[in-house]
């Protein structure tokens, strides 16, 4: 295609999209399907965070670590024994890189010729009053969408500037296995990578200022902490970071726990304390685009920035930092930019997942959030030892928690801690999205010996003792 990689002769487009990751491609494809001419501007490796350094590489490595654990845990079945270990770490990393390369080619590079309305331009972009400047040339565009993503953030720990530290990106590029690792930050990424490296044979200490997965219900966070500890991970929570040093070839982190100083030592340190929106160099303030206190671009529910004609979507806004929400927001931005701003961003039933084992997944309001919004709540908690699927698998790690409005019986929120929690949460997304009550959910037919059946049991748990039900009863 002649215009897939070069500007049009008049360098004028209906839409310019800055950023060629998941959000950028979503916006560009959506606009092209609307018949618009689009300049898709990338800088660096095409495909953005998810395929290159985020979701894809981390999840394939997590699955590899699960395979190790699965073999070692075979003895939970009487008569079985199993063992597994990393035979060639470099080969594992190379396979991960091959998968990334394949998906980047298949899902990004090879897609460009399929959309005649999209011109892919490579270079650092900067906003101008009339559009975008790239590589010294001005690109005129009626509308602009910024989708430049985010990067790992450096925490405020004294001494960090003088210490070599890993990010979620560089940690997965290590060609040698680590003997020991400090993971700083107990959110999604910290928990996932701590378990991954521990299962691969690294001695891992996970430290966090508050508790693990702060977004999760306290019952779930407490259980996950216990399961990670059971696997040999040292979890230290509720502390402050006093100082970090690089001493005698080791990383030394001094922490303060209830006024008492302690030191933790490891070969390397991995920082997983959040991400920073990529806004530097875009010329945002010069053209009147407002930034929030966290550094993200401020947008309204139509994905509009404070500057008319300029939209933003994805991690660069600093909210809902999941790849599927980035793609969703970018699609809305493109449709609004071209068709009159009629579509509103809605994250009320946004699912989220932590790919630990067991997995953590949730949607809707937590119990505390529901109460803060004025709901009179009721809850149901069912441990997995009441779920036939878990009993048959001889793996009862986990629980289900549902939150409902006591007055109307309407479901408000759900969280799952289970080996197949990620694949079960979508049932609750639909239940909450379409206003189901606990009675509705409890009366719905579910397949037997599945993890998702636990949701039916939890719904029934609002009105009866599920320990007194026979199989498939109710």
Q: CATH 3.30.390.30 residue ranges in the chain?
A: 352-463
CA distance 397 to 248: 40
**Any idea which residue has 């080996």 for tokens?**
419
Give the residue from 96, 69, 63, 97 showing the smallest Cα distance to 83: 69
Q: Both tokens of residue 369? A: 């959030």
- The tens-digit pLDDT sequence of the chain (474 residues) is 334 444 444 579 999 999 999 999 999 999 999 999 999 999 999 999 999 999 999 999 999 999 999 999 999 999 999 999 999 999 999 999 999 999 999 999 999 999 999 999 999 999 998 899 998 899 999 999 999 999 999 999 999 999 999 999 999 999 999 999 999 999 999 999 999 999 999 999 999 999 999 999 999 999 999 999 999 999 999 999 999 999 999 999 999 999 999 999 999 999 999 999 999 999 999 999 999 999 999 999 999 999 999 999 999 999 999 999 999 999 999 999 999 999 999 999 999 999 999 999 999 999 999 999 999 999 999 999 999 999 999 999 999 999 999 999 999 999 999 999 999 999 999 999 999 999 999 999 999 999 999 999 999 999 999 988 888 755
Predicted local confidence at residue 399, as pLDDT = 98
Question: Where does residue 242 rank: exposed (0-12), middle (13-18), buried (19+ CB within 10 A)?
Answer: middle
Query: Quick one: pLDDT at residue 11?
Result: 73
CATH for 160-273 is: 3.50.50.60
For domain 12-47+108-152+276-339, give the CATH superfamily: FAD/NAD(P)-binding domain (3.50.50.60)
Alpha-carbon distance of 143 to 136, in angstroms, equals 20
CATH 3.40.190.120 fits domain 352-463: no
Residue with tokens 């999604």: 188
d(CA 417, CA 384): 9
Residue span(s) of the chain under CATH 3.50.50.60 come to 12-47+108-152+276-339, 160-273
Model pLDDT, residue 470: 81
Residue 311: name the closest of 332, 285, 339, 294 by CA. Answer: 332
Range list of β-strands (E), 393-458: 399-405, 411-418
Quick one: pLDDT at residue 468? Answer: 86
**pTM recorded for the entire structure:** 0.94
């Amino acid at each position: 295609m002649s215009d897939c990689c070069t500007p049009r002769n008049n360098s004028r487009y209906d839409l310019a999209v800055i950023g060629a990751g998941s959000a950028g491609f979503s916006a560009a494809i959506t606009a092209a399907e609307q018949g618009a001419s689009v300049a898709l501007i990338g800088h660096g490796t095409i495909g953005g965070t998810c395929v290159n350094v985020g979701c894809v590489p981390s999840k394939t490595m997590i699955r590899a670590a699960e395979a190790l654990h699965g073999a070692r845990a075979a003895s939970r079945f009487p008569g079985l024994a199993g063992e597994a270990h990393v035979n060639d770490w470099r080969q594992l990393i190379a396979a991960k890189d091959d998968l990334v390369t394949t998906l980047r080619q298949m899902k990004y590079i090879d897609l460009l010729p399929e959309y005649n309305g999209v011109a892919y331009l490579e270079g650092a972009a900067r906003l101008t009053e009339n559009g975008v400047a790239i590589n010294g040339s001005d690109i005129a565009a009626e509308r602009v969408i910024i989708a430049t993503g985010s990067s790992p953030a450096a925490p405020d720990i004294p001494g960090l500037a003088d210490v070599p530290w890993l990010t979620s990106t560089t940690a997965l590029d290590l060609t040698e296995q680590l003997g020991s690792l400090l993971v700083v930050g107990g959110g999604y990424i910290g928990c996932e990578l701590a378990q991954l490296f521990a299962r691969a044979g690294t001695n891992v200490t996970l430290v966090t200022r508050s508790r693990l997965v702060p977004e999760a219900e306290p019952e779930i966070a407490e259980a996950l902490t216990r399961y990670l500890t059971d696997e040999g991970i040292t979890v230290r929570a509720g502390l402050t970071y006093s100082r970090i040093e690089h001493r005698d070839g080791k990383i030394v982190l001094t922490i303060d726990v209830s006024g008492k100083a302690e030191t933790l030592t490891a070969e390397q340190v991995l920082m997983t304390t959040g991400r920073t929106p990529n806004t530097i160099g875009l010329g945002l303030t010069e053209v009147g685009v407002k930034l929030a206190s966290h550094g993200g671009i401020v947008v309204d529910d139509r994905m509009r920035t404070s500057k008319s004609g300029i939209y933003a979507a994805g991690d660069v806004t600093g909210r809902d930092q999941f790849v599927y929400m980035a793609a969703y927001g970018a699609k809305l931005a493109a449709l609004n930019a071209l068709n009159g701003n009629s579509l509103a961003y809605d994250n009320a039933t946004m699912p989220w997942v932590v790919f630990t084992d067991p997995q953590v997944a949730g949607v809707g309001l937590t119990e505390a959030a529901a109460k803060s919004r004025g709901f009179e709540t009721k809850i149901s908690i069912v441990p997995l030892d009441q779920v036939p699927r878990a009993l048959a698998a001889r793996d009862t790690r986990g629980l289900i928690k549902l939150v409902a409005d006591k007055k109307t019986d309407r479901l408000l929120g759900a969280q799952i801690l289970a080996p197949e929690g990620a694949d079960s949460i979508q049932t609750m997304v639909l239940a909450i999205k379409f206003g189901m009550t606990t009675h509705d959910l409890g009366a719905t037919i579910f397949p037997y010996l599945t993890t998702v059946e636990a949701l039916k049991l939890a719904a029934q748990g609002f009105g009866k003792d599920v320990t007194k039900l026979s199989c498939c009863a109710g």
